[in-house]
Structure 1
Amino acid sequence: MSSSPAVAGRKFRLVALATVSLLWCAIGRCLWLMRHPVASGFERPAAWSTVGLVVALGALLSGLVWLVLRQMDRVGRVAEARVALQSLIADHASEAMMLTDRAQRILSVNAAFETITGYPAREVIGNTPTRLSAGHHGLAGHRTVWDHVAEHGYWEGELWDRRKDGTLYPRQMRISAICENGTEVSHYVAVFNDISESKAQAQRLEYLARHDPLTNLPNRLALDAQLAKVIDGSVPGIDRLALLVIDLDNFKTINDSLGHAAGDRLLGELSRRLAVQMGPAQRLFRLGGDEFVVFVEQLDGEEALIELSSRLIRITGEPLEIDGHVLHVTPSIGISLYPEDGRDAQALIRNADTAMYYAKANGRANYKFFTEPMNAAATKRLHLESELWRALAENQLVLHYQPQIDLLAGKVVGVEALVRWRHPQRGLIGPAEFIPVAEECGLILPLGHWVLLTACRQVKAWLDQGIDMGEMAVNISAHQFRQPEFVQSVRRILAETGLPASRLELEITESTIMHGVDEAIVTLGELRGMGIRLAIDDFGTGYSSLAYLRRFPLDRLKIDRSFLADVDTDRDAASLLTSIVLLGRSLGLQLVAEGVERFAQAEFLRTLECERVQGYHFYQPVSAEEVVGFGGFGLFAAAAA
């Protein structure tokens, strides 16, 4: 096992010291003998003493010279090893390294320099780095760098350079000044990396962060940045901008019916259509879901916005074929203006969004400019939404029940459950005011579940008390019906309440079952198989065809109140109602007419032998306690009451 260099060095020094000591002893002995030739008991010639002294001195000097030469050789070999190691480390470093003298002439470079720049060492040594640069930053840029080095002793930053093949690349560099004597700069060392890939990756991440992956359109983050940039450079009163928020009507229905893949293809095609319509000062963004935004950076006048909005509505409304289905989509557009409707990005987006909701509430497939009264209405709606969540949590919702009358027998044969909101301050609020809000804010699912569960519990309670109110009709929203677990949830409610399925009737609108016909048929078939009765609500207001209507496992058609309005005064209205009744009878379905408010309407329905009716002419919706008293009354007694 070899000893370490440090131990070997210590041994060498001890041997050298012992040798020198012996030599000095020998010299001293020779000198003593020369002065005392007989002191030792025998005489030696002086010449021999002189010879011994010379030999000892020569040996001493030779030893000293040998020691000095050995030490110099050792120091040289250590220095060479250190230089070789440093060179090896430099050549294995991933960063490019370049050493220059004080005149900035290149003295040496490492292997990474050759790899990154494409220049071999022999071609760059003796040149200055500026001769190899891209010229991208100009002389002023280089002067700034070296001024900083002169002042601070270093510079660090990003520069562009040109490889030997002519390609430009960015590099992250640090230049340091080296002072050998501690005062004057003797050399400069530069260390740099090629950051092309990292910059490209950063640009890709930046693009992904600011663009929608489905449509490749700029997203909300990009919109906020663009709005802030343009608004900061705009002068209110001189520069005018506009924002158009576009929301597709009933897109969720398409998504639920045909699946998200079909919905994505629809959005992709619509984004291409809309992008084609953009002018030089107009940019299209996608905020997410089915919501798009058009930012108009230079507004010439409201007439241009009206023309643009009309064109976008027309283009969007053109038929689209997705997975063999011909789809028709319409947009609702809200418009806000700068500076009239807001002087920052958030205000413009918020107000355009508010105007879009007004367009949607006023018939859809149209556009609305923002007006200040919309803010108050939007605030009221937001407040209503917040209160509605609290209402469900605090049991402020109640069910009222409106009897259904067998028109020919003159007795109550069923009831329809109608939800009401018993507001702590505003009193009883009807469903027309809060059901649309519940559908938009996602509350309709828990609300619909509560209505169905409460109605079933009430019917079971009546039956347990020996009270027979007939069937309980419950309205089912489109959101509920399209839930994958809807049938299972109904089954669980019946099991929980113990209500016979034959006592429950579910009312579903035409538009609900016509979106995704095949899926609707399966769902209706499962419900019918459980023994539940099924009715089409608001019949005549949708677009169902007889071919489809015959495929649905239905029990009843509920005639919408709009068809009864003028039957006693308008012959055409009477003919239309007669046709609807005959249609239902030809399909083998019972008819229920809702919204009967006058005696003449009831009499006309009686002549048509319409089986069931309901409306204010007979009974208003009342609480569970009050409706029980109607069960045994005859028709005319109830009407008189």
Structure 2
Amino acid sequence: MSSVPGHRADRTARAVLLASLGVVLTALVVPGLRSPLMLVAVWTAPVLVLAGRYRHDPGTRVWSAVAAMLTCWAAGFTAGQVLGRHHVAVVVCMALGQALGAFVVGHVVVLSVRHQGSARAAGSGGSLDAVIVVTVGVTVAAQLATLGVMTPYFVVVASVDIAVAGVVVKFALSRSGLGPASYLALAGGLSSLVYDLSTALENSRLAQPGSAVGLLGTIAVLAPACAAVHPRVRAVFDPVTFTRRRPDSTALLGLLPLVLLPAGLTVVVSASTGTRAGVGTLPPWVVPAAGALVAALCLVRAARALRVTERLAGRDPLTDLANRRGLSHAHERWAGPVGLLLFDLDGFKHVNDSHGHDVGDLILLAVRDRALTAVAGRGLLARLGGDEFVVLAAPEHLRDVAADVLAALGPPVRLPSVQTRVGASIGLVTADVTPDVTTDPVPLAELLTRADIAMYAAKAAGGDRVVAFTPRMRDAVSARYALGHDVRELLDGAPGAGRLDVHLQPVVDLPTGRVVSAEALVRWQHPSRGLLTPDAFLDVVTDLGLDTRLDLAVLRTTVGHLRRWRDEGRPVLPVSVNLTGASLDAPDLATTVLAVLADAGVPASSLRLEITEQEEVAVSGPAAASLATLAEAGVVVLLDDYGTGFTSLDYLSRFPVRVLKLDRSLTGGPRPGSPSPSAVAGPRAARPVEIVRAVTAMAAHLGLDVVAEGVETEAQRAQLVAAGVGQGQGYLFSRPLPAADFARAHLPRAVPART
């Protein structure tokens, strides 16, 4: 309903604008119609302004003043047509109109000055702009004050018009987002100033009848009328309009008219003093001196803008730390030995994916504040981009600074919407660590490369630690890069890249030992490195953003095995496939999985999907809807590694989970040589078996099955059965087996194979 008035307002504004253009074009083509059309325009304009004010309710008295100004001009123009251009009635009407125009201009100036504070705070030179405008205004006022009462009329009017026109142009070029209504109003103001200046040079209030200057008068009255009926008329005098400033590179152009004003004033006054004796004027040196002062102030303003731009070019816009360019300049100016820390936040990508980039920015600002405190003047903190930060410091301070940064980032970051911990992986390098013998200083790019290698070594070691660069690390990076290339080749199906294998580990009924399902575990038969387990290549897959492609490849391979068992006449047990967070965030997950099952002719009940609570999944993402669609089709959803994350109950409420897989930390007991959990946590801490009983009780209440991972001994099996766990998997029953071996061991043929 609200859209209809808006459409009508748009149509009305377009109709008025087209009609105004038609009037101007007709007056341009047919000189004899200029005076009649001008008469129609000057009386139509105030009516349109009042109608626009009534229709759109701009909420300001300025438009009433504009309507009154246009009415005075209409009366003066009409009197000029009847009584002559120099009649006293014309002078009175036009003077009243100009007085009202001065009120409008004064209102704009007040709004501009009132909102200069934000410009000065931003360092955009608003104070110098004001000094330049005041210098020009004082020069004009001083010149007018010395001319005396016998000054020709056109000298006074022309001087004022030149000054006001310069200020209007500066305003238009220094503000952004003015909108159509604002530009129409500015066009009207400039047209009226040029019209007034042209007629003043003829020593008259009005242009000659039929003169081409009358076209400017027509535009001067119709442009503000078009602005008043425009739907965005509110923005013309809205204070917000005066706070949006253009970049300095554009705003500086607005100073050019102000630089030319003293010269224009000199020309006008010279014309007067050359034709009229006894006219006073300022000393000859004053106006040129004012012009030179304005030009100097403009140069200072430009220099300040350039310094601000140069500073911003070397600063990160979010944190205001040095960016890569600023870091390079600091490195060039560094005196003495230099070292470098590069740290990357652990798990920050999941924060952005789960909570959004706005929350991520707030966390980065918190990290900046903590890191600045940790560095404590011992070096320069910079941000390279994303969640990567650099500290440039003397070598003797590096390890202490690194330890202080780790300690500072240890406590959780608490925001109104989220609380999270952001650890860091830190790479450390000094300029004297070099694989070749040279006395040349190590370039910053090489230092960053070495620190990056060390940082990834820290991340690979588990994160939240400092690793110093050694030359041998390059070999590991080269191997990792080569492995990444091989992974891409593998997923692209390139010949010679090896093949993906899916090994299957049986899941058994704990009381009876009967195999009830299996878990698919990916392996890579590498052409030169042999059989690789997931630990050898999954982190490379994640770094390359290939998780979704690998998940799909494992899914297709697993479903292919299910189809092959069916065709061979073997019993088809459900098989579970692990999904990463990237796959869960894919909007087409359900469509893709169901299409793979349909192509193979495998029922959805034969497939299980495992999600892990260690993978942060966005609350607002598509995962919940995708899993609900799959569960409705018959796919069973398992929650893997239960008991190791922080969102277990949250995932149970968000996703259609049917099975809990207890992490081996709850089912396997302490590892050899490690202290018991009770010794570490204290005598009052619950033992794993008690936690398992609590989980099975909760699962029974929720109607969920429980599977225990890492079952390796008969004692564990008996303990889990006593705790109420129904199923388990582990080396006690079987290691992961190739698909063919799994089928021979656990899926005997019951019916003849299909042909």
TM-score by length of 1: 0.63
Judge conservation of contact 2:581–2:617 (CA < 8 Å) in 1.
no
1:554: Cα distance to partner?
A: 1.1
- Cα distance between partner residues in 1 of 2:522 and 2:262: 75
Q: Partner residue of 2:563?
A: 460
Aligned to 1:619: 734
Runs of at least 5 residues in structure 2 that lack an aligned partner in the other structure: 1-256, 271-280, 435-440, 679-686, 750-755
1:119–1:414 distance in 2 versus 1, CA, 3 Å: same
1:306 to 2:399 alignment: yes
Tell me if 1:221 matches 2:325: yes
- Whole-angstrom CA distance in 2 between matches of 1:278 and 1:596: 48
Query: Is 1:537 the counterpart of 2:636 in the alignment?
Result: no
Task: Identify if the C-alpha distance between structure 1 residues 574 and 567 changes in structure 2 by more than 3 Å, giving closer, same or farther.
Answer: farther
Distance (Å, rounded) in 2 between the aligned partners of 1:629 and 1:221: 63
Structure 2 residue aligned with 1:610, among 725, 733, 740?
725
| Partner residue, 2:600 | 497
Contact 1:413–1:469 (8 Å) recurs in 2: no
Q: Deviations over 1:379-417 (max 9, x none)?
A: 322222222222323352221222222233433222211
Q: Which amino acid aligns with 2:739?
A: A
| Change in 2 beyond 3 A, CA 1:114/1:455 | closer
What CA distance in whole angstroms lies between the structure 1 residues aligned with 2:597 and 2:311?
A: 53
2:548 aligns with: 445
2:471 corresponds in structure 1 to 372
Query: How far apart are residue 533 of structure 1 and its match?
Result: 0.5
Change (3 A) 1:274 1:503: same
Contact 1:118 1:164 in 2 (8 A): no
Give the CA deviation at 1:476: 0.8
The DSSP-based 3-state class of the residue aligned with 1:620 is coil
1:260 shift after superposition: 2.1
Residue in structure 2 matching 1:554, options 630, 644, 657 = 657
C-alpha spacing 1:587/1:288, structure 2 compared with 1 (3 Å): same
Instruction: Give yes or no for contact 1:550–1:587 (8 Å, CA) kept in 2.
Output: no
The answer as to 2:443 corresponding to 1:344 is: yes
Q: Distance in 2 between matches of 1:116 and 1:617?
A: 96
Q: Quote the residue 2:499 is aligned against.
A: 396
SS of corresponding position for 2:340? strand
Q: Describe the SS at the equivalent of 1:372.
A: coil
Q: Residue 328 of structure 1: which of 404, 421, 430 is its match?
A: 421
Distance in 1 separating the partners of 2:669 and 2:415: 42
> Deviation of residue 515 (structure 1)?
6.0
CA contact (8 A) 1:460 1:497 kept: yes
Superposed, 1:7-406 pairs within 5 Å as 163-164=292-293, 167-168=296-297, 170=299, 197=302, 206-207=310-311, 209-227=313-331, 229-230=332-333, 234=335, 239-275=336-372, 277-280=374-377, 282-296=379-393, 298-299=394-395, 301=396, 304-322=397-415, 324-340=417-433, 343-393=442-492, 394=494, 396-406=499-509
The answer for the alignment partner of 2:37 in structure 1 is: none
Q: Report how many residues are paired.
A: 457
CA–CA distance in structure 2, aligned partners of residues 487 and 604 of structure 1: 38
> Per the alignment, do residues 263 and 488 of structure 1 end up closer, same or farther by CA in structure 2, a change over 3 Å counting?
farther
Cα distance, 1:469–1:601 mapped onto 2, change above 3 Å: farther
Q: Does the residue aligned with 2:322 lie in a helix, a strand or coil?
A: coil
Tell me the residue number matched to 1:415.
518
Question: In the alignment, is the contact (CA less than 8 A) between 1:513 and 1:520 conserved in 2?
Answer: no
Q: How big is the shift at 1:294?
A: 1.7
* Inter-partner Cα distance in structure 2 for 1:323 and 1:575: 35
CA distance in 2, matches of 1:534, 1:461: 23
CA pair 126-593 structure 1, distance change in 2 beyond 3 A: same
- Partner residue of 1:190? none
Residue 535 of structure 1, CA deviation? 0.8
Q: TM-score, normalised by structure 2?
A: 0.54
Distance 2:746 2:366 in 1: 57
Greater mean alpha carbon deviation, residues 564-573 or residues 478-487: 564-573
Task: State the secondary structure of the residue aligned to 1:536.
Answer: strand
* Paired residues of 2:587 and 2:622 also in contact (CA < 8 A): no
Aligned pair in 2 of structure 1 residues 487, 124: CA closer, same or farther (>3 Å)? farther
CA distance in 1, matches of 2:622, 2:310: 42
SS in 1 for 2:737: coil
RMSD value over aligned CA atoms? 3.8
Instruction: Tell me the secondary structure at the aligned position of residue 614 of structure 2.
Output: helix
Instruction: Indicate the residue corresponding to 1:588 in structure 2.
Output: 703
Distance 1:405 1:113 in 2: 89
Q: Which has the higher contact order (CA 8 A, sep 6+)?
A: 2
Q: 1:286 to 1:483 in 2, by over 3 A?
A: farther
Task: Give the Cα–Cα distance (whole angstroms) in 2 for the partners of residues 550 and 597 of structure 1.
Answer: 32
Query: Alignment partner of 2:708: what SS?
Result: strand
Q: Measured at CA, do residues 162 and 224 of structure 1 come closer, stay the same or move farther in structure 2, by a change above 3 Å?
A: farther
**Offset at residue 223 of structure 1 (A):** 2.4
Over 3 Å counting, the alpha-carbon distance change for 1:494 and 1:212 in structure 2 is farther
Task: Tell me how far apart the structure 2 counterparts of residues 413 and 114 of structure 1 sit (CA, whole Å).
Answer: 90
Q: 1:452 to 1:540 in 2, by over 3 A?
A: same
Conserved 8 A contact 2:585-2:617: no
Offset, 1:481? 1.7
Q: Deviations over 1:414-445 (max 9, x none)?
A: 22111111111121111111111111121222
Q: CA deviation at 1:334?
A: 1.8
Aligned position for 2:146: none
- 1:271 counterpart letter in structure 2: R
